[in-house]
Structure 1
Amino acid sequence: MPKIKTHSGAKKRFSVTKNGKFKRGHVGKRHLLNGHGKTTKLKRHLRKEGFADSTNVAQLKRLLPYK
């Protein structure tokens, strides 16, 4: 059997925790962070880590076979 290739876009966006959850980053955290753009509350919530939804886990396991 040939090796399965890892999806290069998925490996940049997701990492696997010890418990097997897929950790992801939040959107909207690149620019317009001071002054006029986003509230302090929104920026504080964007700092916390996010996890992939349970409906997408099977697809992520196919995209990242060796993680």
Structure 2
Amino acid sequence: MPKMKTKKSAAKRFKVTGTGKLKRNKAYRRHILTKKSPKTKRNLRKAVITDITNSKVMKKILPYL
């Protein structure tokens, strides 16, 4: 059976934690930051665990991660 290909765009966006969960960065932190409050920008800094419903799909896309 041939090897499965990893979706490289997803591989750049996700990291795996020690327990096997997927970690991702939050959106909306690239530009137009002047209208966002400091509290919003501070909360966007932190990485979060991917939702369970999405992580099942991501595990198929990222077979070797």
Q: Structure 2 length as normaliser, TM-score?
A: 0.89
Paired residues for 1:47-66 under 5 Å: 47-66=45-64
CA positional deviation for 1:57: 1.6
The aligned amino acid for 1:38 is K
2:7 maps to which residue? 7
Paired residues for 1:10-29 under 5 Å: 10-29=10-29
Q: Structure 1 length as normaliser, TM-score?
A: 0.87
The aligned amino acid for 1:57 is S
Segments ≥4 residues shifted beyond 3 Å: none
CA positional deviation for 1:37: 1.6
Q: Point out where structure 1 has 5 or more consecutive residues left out of the alignment.
A: none
Task: Give RMSD over aligned pairs.
Answer: 1.0
CA positional deviation for 1:32: 2.5
CA deviation string 1:23-63 (max 9, x = no partner)? 11111111233xx3210110111111112100112111100
Paired residues for 1:21-40 under 5 Å: 21-33=21-33, 36-40=34-38
Equivalent residue in structure 2 for 1:45, among 24, 37, 43: 43
